[in-house]
Amino acid sequence: MNALLVAGTTSDAGKSVVTAGICRWLARGGARVAPFKAQNMSNNSVVTPDGGEIGRAQALQAAACGVEPSVRFNPVLLKPGSDRRSQVVVLGQVWGEVTAMSYRARKAALLDTAVSTLEGLRAEYDYVICEGAGSPAEINLRANDIANMGLAQAARLPVLVVGDIDRGGVFAQLFGTLALLDAADQALVAGFVVNKFRGDPALLEPGLDQLRALTGRPVHGVLPWAEELWLDAEDSLSYVADGVVGRPAPPRGAQWLRVAVPRLPRISNATDVEALAAEPGVAVRFVTEPSRLADADLVVLPGSKSTAADLDWLRRTGLADAVLGHARAGLPVVGICGGFQMLTRRIHDEVESGAGVVDGLGLLDLEIEFAPRKTLARPSGRSFGELVTGYEIHHGVAVRRGGAAPLVELPDGAAEGAVSGSVVGTHWHGLFENDGFRRAFLRWAAQRAGRDGFEPAADTVFAEVRAAQLDLLGDLVEKYLDTDALRRLLDGGVPGGLPVLSAGMVGCGAVGDARGESPTRRV
Q: What percent of the chain is predicted at pLDDT more than 70?
A: 93
3-state secondary structure 68-114: CCCHHHCCEEEEECCCCEEEEEECCEEEEEEEHHHHHCCHHHHHHHH
Domain ranges within the chain, ordered by starting residue: 3-230+493-522, 240-460
pLDDT of residue 522: 44
Q: How confident is the model at residue 246 (pLDDT cuts 50, 70, 90)?
A: confident
Q: How confident is the model at residue 309 (pLDDT cuts 50, 70, 90)?
A: very high
pLDDT of residue 4: 97
pLDDT of residue 513: 33
Whether 337 is catalytic is yes
Catalytic residue among 220, 394, 395, 429: 429
Return d(Cα 36, Cα 75) in angstroms, integer: 8
Give 439-484 pLDDT, tens digit per residue. Answer: 999 999 999 999 999 999 999 999 999 999 999 999 999 999 999 9
Can you name the CATH fold of 240-460? Answer: Rossmann fold (3.40.50)
Quick check: 214 pLDDT over 90? Answer: yes
Quick check: 523 pLDDT over 50? Answer: no
Return d(Cα 486, Cα 248) in angstroms, integer: 35
Q: What is the mean pLDDT of residues 281-300?
A: 95
Give 161-197 pLDDT, tens digit per residue. Answer: 999 998 889 999 999 999 999 999 999 999 999 999 9
Q: What percent of the chain is predicted at pLDDT more than 90?
A: 77
Give 91-116 pLDDT, tens digit per residue. Answer: 989 888 887 777 877 888 899 999 99
Phi and psi of 224, rounded to 5°? -80, 160
Sign of dihedral through CA atoms 377, 305, 292, 237? negative
Return d(Cα 14, Cα 237) in angstroms, integer: 13
Give 506's DSSP letter: -
Catalytic residue among 23, 337, 395, 427: 337
Q: 3-230+493-522 in CATH: which number?
A: 3.40.50.300
- 510: left (phi > 0), else alpha (psi -120 to 50), else beta? beta
Contacts (Cβ under 8 Å, ≥6 apart) of 51: 71, 92, 376
Q: What is the mean pLDDT of residues 380-408?
A: 91
Domain 3-230+493-522 matches domain 240-460 at the CATH topology level: yes
pLDDT of residue 16: 93
- Of 40-49, 179-188, 454-463, 513-522, the range with the lowest mean pLDDT is 513-522
